[in-house]
Chain A
Amino acid sequence: MTEQKIRVLVAKPGLDGHDRGAKTVASILRDRGMEVIYTGLHQTPEMIAEAATQEDVDVVGLSILSGAHMELFPRVRAELVKRGMGHVLLVGGGIIPNDDMKKLEADGFAKLFGPGTRTDDIGVYIETEMKKRRAHSA
């Protein structure tokens, strides 16, 4: 049996224009064999949740470097839940202070990645989590 490809939505919520990290992560995850959809910039939480639903992804990765994460990250999660997508592996990254990371991880985010993270570590994390989830549901 060939293993099913992991489908990832990499998204940029809000007005933030810093997309170097999001695009780099998207490219490197794609090179690891995942199917990656990148939303482009300036997305609303509704647009992101809608794209995740349409594309039926397993993972949603959000990137913000503008400081608006405590407003926008929970709103993306709420919109996902509203669309029956609360099960996706929800991760995020950017300039996010440690205590905010803890709050988000207590509030439905699987993991937050800060500056200096190896993209390999993100890839391995997603693969490991997805393996666990698929084993669990098989």
Chain B
Amino acid sequence: MSLQDVIRTDAAALWQRAFDKGEKRDADFTTVSGAKLEPLYGPDDAALDPETDLGYPGQFPYTRGVHPTMYRGRLWTMRQFAGFGSAKQTNERFKYLLAHGQTGLSTAFDFPTLMGYDSDHERSRGEVGQVGVAISCLRDMETLMEGIPMADVSTSMTINGPAPILLAFYIACGERQGVSPTKLRGTVQNDILKEYQAQHAWLVPAEPALRMITDVMGYCATHVPQWNTISISGYHIREAGSTAAQELAFTLANGMEYVRRGVAAGLDVDSFAPRLSFFFDSHIDFFEEIAKFRAARRIWARKMRDEFHAKDPRSWMLRFHTQTAGVTLTAQQPENNIVRTAYEALAAVLGGTQSLHTNSMDETLSLPTEKAVKIALRTQQILAEETEVAHVADPLAGSYFVEAQTNRLEKDAERYFAEIDKRGGVVAATEAGWIQREIHRSAVAYQRATEQGQKKIVGVNCFQEDESGGPTIAIHKIDAAVEREQHVRLADVRKKRDSAKAKRALDDVRDACAGKDNLLARFVAAAHADCTLGEIAGVLRTSFGEYHEPKIL
């Protein structure tokens, strides 16, 4: 032992003694996910090989980011998720956001659309336009994109069960605007596994749903090459109550399943893997989230290169969108949500996100008002333009604490992968309800921790105020007239279309369900024939059957 080592050891022992003797607050020193934290981290806690575990930005295993230039090359895309009421109202909100400096579009659909029902279906009553925009047919999509140059803007669509049908509406809409599918840029969420696990807007059972996903990958590889065919999403898993480690593990396990399916369908892994993208939550635990993003990139790169033998480095890169955590917003003292969102946005940027949605302060009360949305967007602009945090790639690399958390989350994820394998893979584990039960257990544990006061929420279990007078901010309400107007529009579409052509297009979809033809190609033809979402989804339901959730409690 050298003299310097002796001094260092002495210093450590000295600190430990002082720490043990020192007064400590009566608080719960764990992450928001319940992982135990040490009071201090040092080199021994963060064992890693800088070459193989970190690399450089733009290099394997991409722990430090997917681009060599990171935000010096291009800032993240500021992409606010928006959608409510009619296509016309959402079109106006899109234009408002673009006019205020937003750089990409992101569409929220209402529940009938998410579940594959037309606005005039019996089950849609009271739900039309409520949590997103109602899109039942190509004409609705044309209104949504009216006056927005589809060749220049990238559009994300949060839709899953009927994702291929909505993508078909978008492709057909582009063609009507004179934009070739090869020019279209955007993302369709199209991640059905996490629907069964967490978000719960599904259409048909897993096997036919997975076939449609590989159909989308195959079709887009040839016809819509700039389109991200799937956004493998941890966001909803986390919002449903999972821990950070569960979000990471279940999302990547789902991602690997899609890759397996693509390969099994005969696609070359490098033909579709570069178009896979991811979507994570940025929760309130600042360092745990940054570590999660870094771990996600490293795990994915290793799996894709070493297990799936992808050769193209673009197949190894985990690119992701982030949304700040809706579940951390409180109805109490809602203005405080601006601050929560800002911290979460900072974590996403320090974690190297490619695009970001910041929640509006009023989202536990209603859909956001224009003012609330603008503050949320400005939060990102302040981050990008004023704080100077975007100048240096992966600025927290080498922090003993952050590296230790990154290692810990990778190990936790590996444990979950092994557990999922033992249960016959992610589809079997989901169909058995195991993943849902894991998420539920974490949700209940967190709820108990807040009610017993171990976990604090300002305004909810500490620093409360009397708010019996109701909320102090404006509320955005959806006009019930939207539903009636949609009924009229749909009746008009059905009346004016060539009904023989529409029927033929639906028959073609039915035949493709029974056979092996690419379903997305048939959906595009059906979109052009003015078939509605509900009609196309209806054919899928009859051909493939409906999904029934397993009983988990």
Contacts and interface: CB of A to CB of B under 8 A. Distances in A.
B451 A98 contact: no
Interface string A107-123: 00000001110111000
Nearest to A73: B126
Given A20-B443, A97-B366, A116-B332, A70 B126 contact: yes
Given A70-B126, A95-B366, A97-B365, A17 B451 contact: no
Given A20-B240, A67-B127, A68-B126, A27 B553 contact: yes
Given A40-B549, A41-B549, A118-B451, A68 B127 contact: yes
A98 B459 CA distance: 18
A97 B475 contact: yes
Contacts of B447: 24, 28, 119
A67 B478 CA distance: 9
A20 B230 CA distance: 25
Contact of A23 (B365, B367, B443): B443
B451 A120 contact: yes
B241 A20 contact: yes
Interface in B99-150: 111-112, 114-115, 117, 123-127, 130-131
Interface string A58-101: 00000000111011100000000000000000000001011100
A56 B242 CA distance: 34
A15 B475 contact: no
Interface in A5-51: 14-20, 23-24, 26-28, 38, 40-42, 44
A27 B444 contact: yes
A19 B239 contact: no
A71 B367 CA distance: 18
Interface in B466-499: 470-471, 475, 477-478
Nearest to B236: A17
Given A20-B241, A66-B111, A26 B553 contact: yes
Given A19-B200, A97-B365, A24 B444 contact: yes
Which of B448, B478, B551, B553 is packed against the most chain A CB atoms within 10 Å? B553
A44 B123 contact: yes
A23 B125 CA distance: 24
Given A17-B200, A24-B443, A95 B365 contact: yes
Contacts of B553: 23, 26-27, 38
A59 to B, nearest CB: 17
A34 B177 CA distance: 59
A125 B367 CA distance: 29
Given A28-B444, A115-B364, A118-B451, A72 B126 contact: yes
B331 A114 contact: yes
A20 B330 CA distance: 16
A115 B111 contact: no
B443 A16 contact: no
Contacts of B125: 68, 71
The A contact surface, by secondary structure, is loop
Nearest to B128: A68
Interface residues of A, number: 33
Nearest to B447: A24
A67 B130 contact: yes
Interface in B530-553: 549, 551-553
Contacts of A114: 331
B123 to A, nearest CB: 6
B365 A71 contact: no
Given A24-B241, A68-B127, A72-B126, A16 B111 contact: yes
Given A68-B127, A71-B127, A119 B440 contact: no
Contacts of A42: 115, 200
A71 B478 CA distance: 13
Contact of B330 (A19, A115, A118): A115
Which of B241, B330, B447, B551 is packed against the most chain A CB atoms within 10 Å? B447
Interface in B438-478: 440, 443-444, 447-448, 451, 457, 459-460, 470-471, 475, 477-478
B530 to A, nearest CB: 24
B512 interface: no
B201 interface: yes
Nearest to B461: A118
Interface string B190-216: 000001000111000000000000000
A68 B119 CA distance: 13
Contacts of A115: 330-331, 364-365
A16 B117 CA distance: 13
A67 B125 CA distance: 11
Nearest to B478: A67
A67 B128 CA distance: 10
Which of A17, A27, A118 is packed against the most chain B CB atoms within 10 Å? A17
Contacts of B199: 17
B477 A97 contact: yes
A66 B332 contact: no
Nearest to B439: A20
Which of A42, A44, A71, A116 is packed against the most chain B CB atoms within 10 Å? A116
A42 B331 CA distance: 25
A54 B470 CA distance: 38
A16 B115 CA distance: 9
B444 A15 contact: no
Contacts of A16: 111, 127, 131
Nearest to B116: A15
Contacts of A23: 440, 443, 552-553
11 contacts: A15-B112, A16-B127, A20-B241, A23-B553, A24-B241, A24-B444, A28-B448, A40-B549, A72-B126, A115-B365, A119-B447
User: Ordered nearest first, which 4 A-B pairs have the shortest CB separation?
Assistant: A71-B126, A17-B200, A67-B130, A15-B111
Given A68-B130, A97-B365, 5 more contacts: A15-B114, A15-B123, A26-B553, A28-B448, A66-B131
